[in-house]
Amino acid sequence: MFQYSSKSFFSGVKEQYKLGFLFLAFALAFLFQDVLLLFCLFVVLILFLVVAGYRGFFGLFIGLLPFLVLSDIGFLIFLSDTTIDLFQLILSSNLRILCLFTATAFFTFSTDVFALIKLFDKMHFPEEICLPVYVLFRFLPEIEHDLVEISGIQKIRGISKRKPILYLKSVMIPLLFTVLQKSDDLAIAYFLRKKRETG
């Protein structure tokens, strides 16, 4: 879902332009208040993803759907006795989140993380910014891959989504241990690198 593709139509575009596009999309998503403008921005971002060669739209938005439903229920519960137009609020907030998510998907699909880190080095960004960006873009696809593998193993064991609590427990606990192991390895590697640089 969030994996960089060198076959993307925009993979040859300079990283600073893609970074500027991401910031512009984020700014417009927060500046636009009109639902029609937000919808137009969402359509433009979807078109950019299509032109880039992205094909995993179902997987991209199916993971976001539960979050949107829960946030909409929260709006209905906590703001029902106010004078706020809830329909307008729910529609605009959902479109805003979809715009942010789609812009991020476009950026990660068409941007090589190593080229992005080189750009950050040229711009003299502090390591406190570069390191989290690198970790996010480098290891998020691996975590997604691990999730698919663990789900497949649980299916072989006969644990399916028909038993949601057992399925979640059987998938999330191994995934948590995998993520903790990878983060531990990453922290050790970073510590050793820093020690080598200072020593």
Residue 4: pLDDT band with limits 50, 70, 90: low
Tell me what pLDDT residue 28 has. 93
**For 83-121, b where at least 16 C-beta lie within 10 A, e where not — what string?**
eeeeeeebebebbbbbbbbbbebbbbbbbbbeebbebbe
Confidence of residue 43 (pLDDT cuts 50, 70, 90): very high
pTM of the model: 0.69
Using one digit for the tens of pLDDT, what is the confidence trace for 94-110?
999 999 888 888 888 88
1, pLDDT greater than 60: no
Residue 1 or residue 17, greater confidence: 17
Sequence letter at residue 44: V
Domain boundaries, the chain: 15-111, 117-198
pLDDT digits (tens, 9 = 90+) for 130-167: 767 667 666 767 777 788 888 888 888 888 778 878 88
Please state, as a whole number, how many other Cβ atoms lie within 10 Å of the Cβ of residue 150. Answer: 18
Percent residues over pLDDT 90 in the chain: 13
Angle, alpha carbons 63-65-67 (nearest 5°): 90
Cβ–Cβ < 8 Å for 1, 56: yes
Q: Where are the alpha helices (DSSP H) in 79-163?
A: 86-110, 113-122, 127-156
